């Protein structure tokens, strides 16, 4: 229970969870960019959500959920099953690096077709 209070305190203080190497994160993000866009702006064609502008703790949690099989396992979640396949090959440090890199991206408006 003590960890919950620490987590709430950190979130309340606006603490950054993603302490990673942004240069390595940029390299790893090349895989993500195929679906999520070069600037993590998202891609409607792939149903890939916008990642830029998301809180780092949220991105870390979602990636950990994919890695643990908490997300993406429903039969109708094709995108989630792709995410599981990608994330399972990543180490914790890779995930932290990618999230740290995403935090550096400037917000870019999604292109309208």
Number of domains in the chain: 1
113 within some domain: no
107 within some domain: no
Range of the domain at 32: 2-102
DSSP 22: H
111 within some domain: no
Q: Residue 28 is part of a domain; what is its CATH number?
A: 1.10.760.10
**pLDDT, tens digit, 9 for 90 and up, residues 58-101:** 999 999 999 999 998 888 888 888 999 999 999 999 999 999 99
Q: What is the pTM of this model?
A: 0.77
109 within some domain: no
71 within some domain: yes
Reported as a pLDDT band with limits 50, 70 and 90, residue 46 is: very high
CA-to-CA distance for 60 and 8, rounded, in angstroms? 16
Count the alpha carbons within 13 Å of 57 in the hemisphere toward its beta carbon: 10
**pLDDT, tens digit, 9 for 90 and up, residues 10-37:** 444 444 556 899 999 999 999 999 999 9
CA-to-CA distance for 32 and 40, rounded, in angstroms? 8
Q: Which long-range contacts (CB under 8 A, 24 or more apart) does 48-52 make?
A: 48/79, 50/110, 51/102, 52/102, 52/105, 52/106, 52/107, 52/108
């Amino acid at each position: 229970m003590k960890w919950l209070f620490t987590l709430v305190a950190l979130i309340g203080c606006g603490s950054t969870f993603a302490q990673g190497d942004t240069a390595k994160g940029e390299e790893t993000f090349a895989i993500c960019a195929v679906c999520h866009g070069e600037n993590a702006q998202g891609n409607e064609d792939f149903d890939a959500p916008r990642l830029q502008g998301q809180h780092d703790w949220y991105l870390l949690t979602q990636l950990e959920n994919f890695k643990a099989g908490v997300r993406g396992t429903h039969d109708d979640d094709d995108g989630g099953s792709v995410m599981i396949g990608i994330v399972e090959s990543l180490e914790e440090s890779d995930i932290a690096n990618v999230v740290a890199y995403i935090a550096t991206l400037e917000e870019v408006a999604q292109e309208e077709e």
